[in-house]
């Protein structure tokens, strides 16, 4: 372990090798060519287990605001905390699975690995661990601490080139680990953070420990740094979601969790989720329809842009949302997130916002004691 007396000193040390890349053999160029044209502009997407040649960052980083014995996925930390009972833990796992199903249903060309990663990036517990290809982003998360300030913070650096075969194997063959680059997608916050993720492909993946993984121990460096000048490296803009088109998705997913629960959530669980996810109400959506009036694509306004357009503040009050989640009343899932719109102007476009009546075809089952949506069924609903 290398020790540094200040964040500035560590930043200078990390910058010496920042930007190193390597040619790797796990990108399948045909995947990108199969995407709709409007999705290709975000660059080359890495798909584990497929072949091809591309360029990847040599190092991935993670910052932690303190010296911790373990670095576990968020689901592992939740389970270990003992805060939730078995029913609530099951609901959290259901939420992660629901977010994956929604994402793959709405964006069928997206790989399942990244479908889980987006949920992790917006605060929903999963079995993935956050990384970044930018050491300055890692330094921010090492500096992002509450009082009392720890005596030391930590930045980890993983040599991706050294573990390439443990992460990206020959096509169709399993590997012990997976990694995904979320910064090459269209998630604004992920792009800003140059976000990557890593996870175990083994059973009980929530037990994966970044610090003590047999697959990583020779290829991960730990840098301990005194928090003397940490304020200079704290960047709150990295966590902002106001300019992100997907800022409204997490709250819509958490609201659907009440359907699975069959009623209100316990306040401890509701507060835990509201402390983690962006809290934004559903913003207006522009929908493009095909010649049969079916949804082809949609664009959702980021909260900041929606506020400029409508004059409405889409930020949700945390205590109000907690009260709603605890309430026994259960509403239908968000029809745009969980369904495909129908009945629009043939070959045209339309703007939809809360209160508009929509014809939809459900894409994802959301069921609890009562089935509220069944994939493939049509419905006439009011957009929340």
355 band by pLDDT with thresholds 50, 70 and 90? confident
Residue 255 in this model has a pLDDT that exceeds 60: yes
Closest by Cα among 63, 5, 6, 54 to 32? 54
Percent of the chain's residues with pLDDT above 90: 55
Residue 30 in this model has a pLDDT that exceeds 80: no
Cβ atoms 189, 121 nearer than 8 A: yes
Separation of alpha carbons 61 and 141, rounded Å:
10
Percent of the chain's residues with pLDDT above 70: 88
Cβ atoms 194, 137 nearer than 8 A: yes
Write out pLDDT tens, residues 181-238: 886 666 888 889 999 999 998 888 999 999 999 999 999 999 999 998 999 999 988 9
52 band by pLDDT with thresholds 50, 70 and 90? low
pTM for the model: 0.88
Write out pLDDT tens, residues 286-336: 999 999 999 888 889 999 999 999 999 999 999 999 999 999 999 889 988
Could you tell me how far CA 12 lies from the centroid of its own chain?
30
Look over the chain and give the mean of its residue pLDDT values, rounded to a whole number. 87
CA angle 370, 376, 380 (to 5 degrees): 75
Separation of alpha carbons 383 and 360, rounded Å:
10
Closest by Cα among 272, 320, 322, 326 to 89? 272
Separation of alpha carbons 34 and 43, rounded Å:
13
Residue 117 in this model has a pLDDT that exceeds 80: no
Arithmetic mean of pLDDT, 126-147: 92
């Amino acid at each position: 372990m290398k020790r540094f007396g200040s964040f500035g000193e560590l930043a200078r040390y990390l910058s010496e090798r920042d930007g190193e890349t390597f040619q790797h053999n796990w990108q399948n160029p045909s995947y990108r060519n199969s995407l709709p044209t409007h999705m290709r502009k975000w660059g080359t997407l890495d798909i584990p287990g497929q072949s091809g040649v591309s360029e990847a960052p040599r190092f991935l980083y993670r910052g932690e605001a303190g010296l911790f014995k373990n670095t576990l996925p968020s689901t592992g930390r939740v389970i270990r905390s003992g805060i939730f009972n078995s029913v609530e833990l099951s609901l959290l796992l259901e939420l992660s699975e629901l977010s994956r199903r929604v994402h793959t249903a709405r964006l069928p060309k997206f790989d399942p690995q990244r479908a889980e990663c987006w949920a992790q990036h917006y605060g929903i517990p999963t079995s993935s661990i956050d990384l970044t290809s930018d050491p300055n982003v890692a330094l921010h998360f090492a500096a992002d601490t509450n009082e009392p300030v720890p005596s030391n913070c930590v930045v980890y650096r993983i040599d991706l080139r050294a573990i390439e075969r443990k992460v990206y194997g020959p096509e169709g063959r399993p590997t012990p680990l997976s990694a995904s680059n979320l910064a090459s997608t269209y998630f604004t916050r992920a792009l800003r953070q140059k976000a990557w993720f890593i996870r175990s492909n083994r059973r009980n993946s929530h037990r994966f420990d970044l610090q003590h993984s047999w697959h990583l121990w020779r290829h991960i460096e730990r840098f301990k740094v005194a928090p003397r000048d940490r304020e200079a490296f704290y960047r709150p803009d990295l966590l902002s979601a106001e300019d992100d088109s997907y800022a409204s998705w997490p709250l819509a997913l958490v609201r659907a969790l009440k359907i699975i629960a069959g009623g209100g959530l316990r306040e401890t669980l509701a507060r835990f989720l509201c402390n983690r996810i962006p809290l934004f109400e559903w913003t207006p959506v522009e929908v493009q329809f095909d010649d049969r009036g079916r949804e082809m694509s949609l664009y959702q306004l980021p909260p900041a842009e929606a506020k400029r357009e409508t004059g409405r503040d889409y930020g949700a009050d945390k205590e109000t949302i907690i009260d709603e989640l605890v309430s026994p009343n259960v509403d239908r899932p968000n029809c745009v997130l969980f369904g495909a719109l129908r009945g629009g102007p043939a070959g045209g476009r339309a703007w939809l916002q809360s209160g508009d009546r929509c014809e939809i075809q459900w894409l994802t089952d959301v069921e609890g004691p009562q089935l509220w949506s069944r994939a493939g069924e049509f419905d006439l609903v009011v957009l929340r």
